[in-house]
Amino acid sequence: MPDTITALFKDEAEAEAAMRALREANFDRASTDLRRPEDAEVPDFGGNAARGVAIGSIGGTVLGAVLGILASGLIPGSHAYAQGGWFVPFILAMALGATGGLAGLLFSMSASHERGLYFEQEVQSGRFMVSVDTDPERLETAREILMSRGAIEASPIDSPTVKRSGRRVVE
């Protein structure tokens, strides 16, 4: 499975030079990408969170209502496991709806990729980003090429950052 390494550059000339150097080192054109500031898009995390809450709430409410109806014996011929009539499905629907909403929010937020967001924000601020999809054994070669062409930093996505000074910074 290919890994992705991403590098940031101050200007477009350095980024273009890095792209040429990657092609000269036999990195496939389809596996390299240059992102310019006008291409930057930050994911809609608020929309993702709202969808997670909505889906979780609806799913939890339906599940709670069904379990409440079954537990209270409201279906003719079924045995009542809890007393309370229509109050039991109502309370279970509310409780599981709130729990489902919270679970949906947590799942939607855990799906965000902090390193990817960091690079997208850097591109929005005017930097140029070069990313390379390559095999794990060629990852270090790609990083060396990117750093030698003037990258401010280069790191595989979701891993420690390697600054130009060679110092590792864990974020």
pLDDT digits (tens, 9 = 90+) for 23-75: 999 888 888 888 888 776 655 667 778 888 899 999 999 999 988 888 888 77
Residues of the chain with CATH 3.30.70.120: 3-42+127-169
Are 131 and 18 within 8 A, CB to CB? no
Instruction: State the pLDDT at residue 30.
Output: 82
Residue 23 CA to residue 149 CA, distance in Å, equals 13
Q: What rounded mean pLDDT belongs to the chain? A: 80
Cross-strand pairs, 4:
133
Parallel/antiparallel/unpaired status of strands 153-156 and 161-163: antiparallel
Instruction: State the pLDDT at residue 45.
Output: 63
Q: Please tell us whether the domain made up of 3-42+127-169 is placed in CATH 3.30.70.120.
A: yes
Residue 106 CA to residue 118 CA, distance in Å, equals 20
Closest by CA position to 56, among listed 10, 112, 98, 114: 98
